[in-house]
Amino acid sequence: MKLGSLIQIPLPASTPPLTASSLRRGARQLAEVDPDLCAVLDRLGVPPMWGREPGFPALILIILEQQVSLAAARTMYRRLSSHLGGMTPEAVYAIQVNGLRDFGLTRQKAGYCFGLAARILDGGLDLSSVANGPDDRGRQILLSIPGLGPWSVDIYYLMALRRPDVWPQGDLALAVALREVKHLTVLPTRDEQQLLASDWAPWRSVAARILWAHYLAARGQYVPDNNGMGV
C-alpha cells in the first residue's frame, strides 16, 4: 500500500504546520509503508522537528547555507547578527553590500541578502502573506526573489513554515542518505529522488527529517533535539 492512498482528503491551499504530534503520526505512517525508513526510526527514534522561526532571519540563513557547510553558514550568520544587533532588514540594508562582504559573504550572497532586505523594506515582499496565503502563490513569490531558488524555498517551507509534505530539491545530504538507506549503488539524481519521495506523500517533510537524522548519525553528528538547528 502506498502512503498516499492512506489519506484521500485534499489538503487545503495553506497546509497546517507540523506539530510534535503530527510529526510522530507521520513517522508512524511512514514506518508502516517503508521498511527502510522503519529501520532508521527503530534505530534513532522520531527525528527532531529542526524548526526555524519564519521570517527574514530564516531566509538570510538559508542564503548563507547555499553551497557551504551548515556549520560555516551558522558561524557567519551569528557573527553578522551580533555585529548588527539583530538580523533585521533595516540593519542589513544599512551596511550595504560592501559591509556584508566584510563579514565573509561573497559578492553574490551579499547582493542577495541586501536585495532581500530592500524588497521587504520597499513593500515588495510581505512574508506574513507568504506564510498565511496559498502555498503555490507563496512559493512563486519567493522564487521571484534573486538568491532564492527551489532548494532555498523548499527549505523555508519545510523548516520555517513547517509544511508536512515538502521534499527539498537538490539536497546533497538527502541524496547521500537515500543511497545509504535504500542501498543504492550511486547517488540518485534529482528526478530519482523526487520519484522515491513521491511514495512518502503526504509526509515527505517527515521523511526528509528521518533521512537527515540518518545522515548525521552515520557521521557521528546526530543530536536528537533542536540544539543548534534554529536561527
Q: What is the pLDDT along the chain (231 residues), one digit of tens a residue?
A: 344 434 333 444 567 899 999 999 999 999 999 999 999 999 999 999 999 999 999 999 999 999 888 889 999 999 999 999 999 999 999 999 999 999 999 999 999 999 999 999 999 999 999 999 999 999 999 999 999 999 999 999 999 999 999 999 999 999 999 999 999 999 999 999 999 999 999 999 999 999 999 999 999 999 886 533 333
Give the residue ranges of DSSP H helices in the chain.
20-33, 35-44, 56-65, 70-84, 89-101, 107-121, 127-132, 135-143, 150-155, 172-181, 190-198, 204-218
Task: Kindly give, in sequence order, each residue whose CB lies less than 8 Å from that of residue 130, ignoring residues fewer than 6 positions away.
Answer: 138, 141, 142
The pLDDT, as a whole number, for residue 16 is 87
The pLDDT, as a whole number, for residue 173 is 95
- Other beta carbons within 10 angstroms of residue 130's beta carbon come to 23
Length of the chain: 231
Question: What are the C-alpha distances in Å from 11 to residues 14, 153, 165?
Answer: 8, 20, 10
Closest listed residue to residue 66, CA positions, set 10, 106, 39: 106
Domains of the chain: 15-49+164-218 (1.10.1670.40), 56-160 (1.10.340.30)
- In the block, cell 557521528 appears at 220
The pLDDT, as a whole number, for residue 161 is 97
Q: What is the pLDDT of residues 174-200, one digit of tens each?
A: 999 999 999 999 999 999 999 999 999
Q: CA 191 to CA 195: how far, in whole Å?
A: 6
